[in-house]
Amino acid sequence: MKYKQMTRQEAVKRCYELTPQLREYDEFMYLSVRWLPYTMFFHQKNYRSAVINTDEMGFRMSKSFSGWVSPANFPTDELVNIVIGGSTAMGTGATSDAYTISSILSKLTGEIWLNFGGSGYNCVQEAILFMLNQHRFKKIKNIIILSGLSTLTFEGLSDDFTTEYGKYYYSYELVHYMNKYNEDLAYRINFNPPCNNSAVKKFIPKLAERLNNWLDDLAQNPMEKVFTDTYVDIKKRLNRAVKMTVESAVQIKQLAKKHDAKVYYILQPLSRWSKERFHKDEEEMFYTMNACANKFWQLFDHLCALDLHKKYSSQLEAGCQKDNIPYYDMNFLMRLSPKLHDNIYVDHLHFNNLGYGEMGRLIYEKILN
């Protein structure tokens, strides 16, 4: 089907018409960022809406047999299960907290499942978040790591953002604003108050330069910077993502030992890795998303290739097997769903209620049982 060409503003409007709840997720993530040590950022605390609700630490609420629970609020005498990951684990695209993977598994198992999903997190941040909070639990039964694609996506950023610890959602912003801090430090060190005509002559050009830099910053919005993965070596990108992802899963497993918890790794689904034919509403949504892509989606150019999926999944599986972590690829499991060719994706990574319901059911039937 041919779609009309849209401006970015028109595309955003159409996205919200097709999937109204996405407006809530955009506001939740982008109206303000809560900066934190170690993980860099996390969700807003005590956020309240019809779609998303968080506890006093920023974790999304889950529906369970004992009511609404979260890592900050749960019956301490009950064993718990945990879903770790990024925005898919958090439940982006669901119309309420009741349709996330943790809530669905709570309903299917009759046990408490807590949502440890962190929107925009890579695998290292996911592991750190668990490390910082695992002391809260007396007994953990199961830990599901539903992840893999955010890390692979972020590794598509320019090599200018390569660090010893990988790339991450705010790679550009951290460098951009911290360099401003360094410039300010240098300015203060080199600045001497003018006390004579010669000093004034030297001072005025420096002041003019800082003013021009400030005006340039006002004209450039870092959030609108265009990213692309066109020139990133796909093999190196994949190898870096595999290494980081497996190492993070091993760290979570080691932390889980004292709880005697079972750890499973599940590669999260990607639209074109899991299905060949799409519902007309999905196709329109994909087209519309491409017309208003943020920096995350701009890094997707090379990720939809089926041969990349096979390489990535097989290498993740080999790494997990080496450390005795059960590995599952949800892209293959989703093909078992009778709902596969219904409208289940709200974008290339996230599901609607029907999609999350099917993924939760498959985890319960094919992995936990």
Is 136:71 a contact under the CB 8 Å cutoff? yes
Give the whole-angstrom CA distance, residue 40 versus residue 56.
17
Percent of the chain past pLDDT 90, that is, above it, reads 69
pLDDT band at 200 (very low <50, low <70, confident <90, very high): very low
Give the whole-angstrom CA distance, residue 271 versus residue 350.
9
Beta bridge partners of 267: 147, 329
Report in angstroms the alpha-carbon separations of 330 from 176, 239, 364. 37, 20, 12
Is 300:153 a contact under the CB 8 Å cutoff? yes
Q: Where are the alpha helices (DSSP H) in 163-257?
A: 171-190, 197-219, 234-256
Token digits of residue 17: 């018409």
pLDDT digits (tens, 9 = 90+) for 340-352: 999 999 999 999 9
Span 151-165, average pLDDT:
83
- Helix 8-18 to helix 280-291 angle, to the nearest 10 degrees? 150
Is 14:6 a contact under the CB 8 Å cutoff? yes
Is 313:265 a contact under the CB 8 Å cutoff? no
Instruction: Give 219's contacts (C-beta < 8 A, 6+ positions apart).
Output: none
Give the whole-angstrom CA distance, residue 129 versus residue 113.
16
**Residue among 344, 356, 340 at smallest CA distance from 100:** 356
Token digits of residue 278: 């799409």
What are φ and ψ of residue 150, in 5° steps?
-65, -45
pLDDT band at 218 (very low <50, low <70, confident <90, very high): very low
pLDDT digits (tens, 9 = 90+) for 321-338: 999 999 999 999 999 999
Question: Does residue 204 register a pLDDT over 60?
Answer: no
Span 247-267, average pLDDT:
97
- Position 329, amino acid: D
- Position 78, amino acid: E
Q: Are strands 140-147 and 262-267 parallel, antiparallel or unpaired?
A: parallel
Is 103:90 a contact under the CB 8 Å cutoff? no
Question: Does residue 208 register a pLDDT over 60?
Answer: no
Question: Does residue 198 register a pLDDT over 80?
Answer: no
Question: Does residue 71 register a pLDDT over 60?
Answer: yes
Q: Cα-Cα-Cα-Cα dihedral of 89, 90, 94, 100, to 10°?
A: 70
Site of tokens 């919005």? 221
Q: What is the pLDDT of residue 223?
A: 53
pLDDT band at 154 (very low <50, low <70, confident <90, very high): confident
CA atoms within 13 A on the CB side of 33: 15
Q: Are strands 112-117 and 80-85 parallel, antiparallel or unpaired?
A: parallel
Token digits of residue 88: 């898919």
Give the whole-angstrom CA distance, residue 126 versus residue 107.
24
